Amino acid sequence: MMQFMLLFSRQGKLRLQKWYVPLSDKEKKKITRELVQTVLARKPKMCSFLEWRDLKIVYKRYASLYFCCAIEDQDNELITLEIIHRYVELLDKYFGSVCELDIIFNFEKAYFILDEFLLGGEVQETSKKNVLKAIEQADLLQEVPMGRTK
Min. distance of Cβ 30 from another protein in angstroms?
Answer: 9
When asked if residue 137 is in the footprint of another protein (CB under 8 A), the reply is: yes
For another protein, which is the closer residue by CB, 61 or 93?
93
When asked if residue 143 is in the footprint of another protein (CB under 8 A), the reply is: yes
Min. distance of Cβ 65 from another protein in angstroms?
Answer: 15
Residues 6+ apart with CB under 8 A from 79: none
Residues 6+ apart with CB under 8 A from 91: 98, 102, 103, 110, 113
* Other beta carbons within 10 Å of 36: 19
> CA end-to-end span of the chain, whole Å?
35
When asked if residue 11 is in the footprint of another protein (CB under 8 A), the reply is: no
What single DSSP character describes residue 56?
E
Among 95, 123, 117, 97, which residue's Cα sits nearest to residue 107? 95
Q: Site for another protein (CB under 8 A): which residue of 9, 17, 40, 61?
A: 17
Q: Site for another protein (CB under 8 A): which residue of 61, 62, 64, 106?
A: 106
Min. distance of Cβ 140 from another protein in angstroms?
Answer: 8
Kindly report the CA angle at 38 between 112 and 118, in degrees rounded to 5? Answer: 20
**Binders of another protein among 29-88, rule CB under 8 A?**
29, 43, 45-51, 53-54, 72-74, 76-79, 81-83, 85-86
Min. distance of Cβ 125 from another protein in angstroms?
Answer: 4
Number of residues that bind another protein (CB under 8 A): 74
Pairing of strands 49-52, 14-19: unpaired
Binding mask 86-105 for another protein (x = CB under 8 A): x------xxxx-------xx
